Structure 1
Amino acid sequence: MPISHDAVASFFQKFAASSNSKDTPAEISHFADVFVAAGPSGNVIVKVEDFAKVLPKRRQLLEASGLVHTSLKSFDVTASTDRHVVVNNTWEMDFKTQTHGPVTIPV
């Protein structure tokens, strides 16, 4: 049975909340021990323990750049099985900078 749209929505709501909480253990709790990260440049296999090591550094870099909040704006389930789901999603990152003031960047 395919994974339901509601299950995907619930996952992303929880993931977005933990991403904004600055709680690394909560954030990585959404990932398997090994997962595939996919993007326009291709795919990469990631160990969650390695991911956990870079999250605080990533957060510091983004906050130093003025990141205030990240929010999920849309998602579309394009394929689903009983074990896997492919989701195209759009996030917005809200920054507040001294030079440009408030800036929202879609990612």
Structure 2
Amino acid sequence: MARLGDVAVKVRSKNAGPFWVTIDIFCGSAKAFDRVRAAITAERAAEVLQTPTQTLKRFEIPDLKVVKLSIPRPAVQGTVADRDMHGAALGALMAEVEI
């Protein structure tokens, strides 16, 4: 098995407004895209990201060879409870997932 970060060209996360975080998985090749889209299901991503499956949004963009995940932020951006102001930590977490 390999880590997602070893298969994908780039795994990043960022704010998608004050209430959502988006994780982009750039695969680079059709072979990597097929492997990632099969391995990173909504259920698997929700488990890793510790969010309910029904709140996770998952998109496949075949022309760009990208799998995109969006989840509600655990805390509204900028509040006292927010531990990741820029939403960058979840990309690193996903990159460690074995696929």
Pair member with larger Rg: 1
Compare the two structures and name the one with the higher helix fraction.
Answer: 1
